[in-house]
């Protein structure tokens, strides 16, 4: 089983609260699709991500070791919008 860290999906709903003060320390990920990921929906919203710390993290053989996706949409009918998560 592969395990990774994902913060998201943020901004799906207009009035979602933000995410803050997340710490991941001394972790190792091997053979995962994504190592550490932050993803936000591709539409306007009032969310935010602050104070995220990845410390002493080792990522081996991951397709996307670090990914910040601010245009997430789970299917092919993605509107041509951008995330407004700060």
Distance CA 65, CA 33 (A): 8
Structural domain that includes position 21: 5-72
16 Cβ neighbours under 8 A, 6+ residues apart = 10, 45, 46, 47
Neighbour-count burial for 2-22, b at 16+ CB within 10 Å, e otherwise: eebbebbebbeeeebeebeee
83 lies in a domain? no
**Which residue numbers in the chain have pLDDT < 70?**
1-2, 78-86
Number of domains in the chain: 1
pTM as predicted: 0.78
Q: Kindly report, residue by residue over 53-73, the tens digit of the pLDDT.
A: 999 999 999 999 999 888 887
First vs last C-alpha separation in the chain:
32
Q: Report residue 73 CA to chain centroid gap.
A: 12
- Tell me if 61 is assigned to some domain: yes
């Amino acid at each position: 089983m592969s395990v990774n860290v994902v913060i998201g999906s943020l901004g799906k709903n207009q009035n979602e609260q933000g995410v803050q003060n997340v710490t991941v320390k001394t972790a190792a990920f091997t053979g995962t699709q994504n190592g550490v990921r932050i993803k936000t929906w591709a539409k306007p919203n009032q969310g935010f991500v602050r104070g995220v710390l990845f410390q002493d993290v080792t990522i081996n053989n991951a397709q996307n070791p670090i990914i910040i996706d601010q245009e997430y949409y789970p299917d092919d009918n993605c509107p041509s919008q951008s995330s407004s998560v700060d």
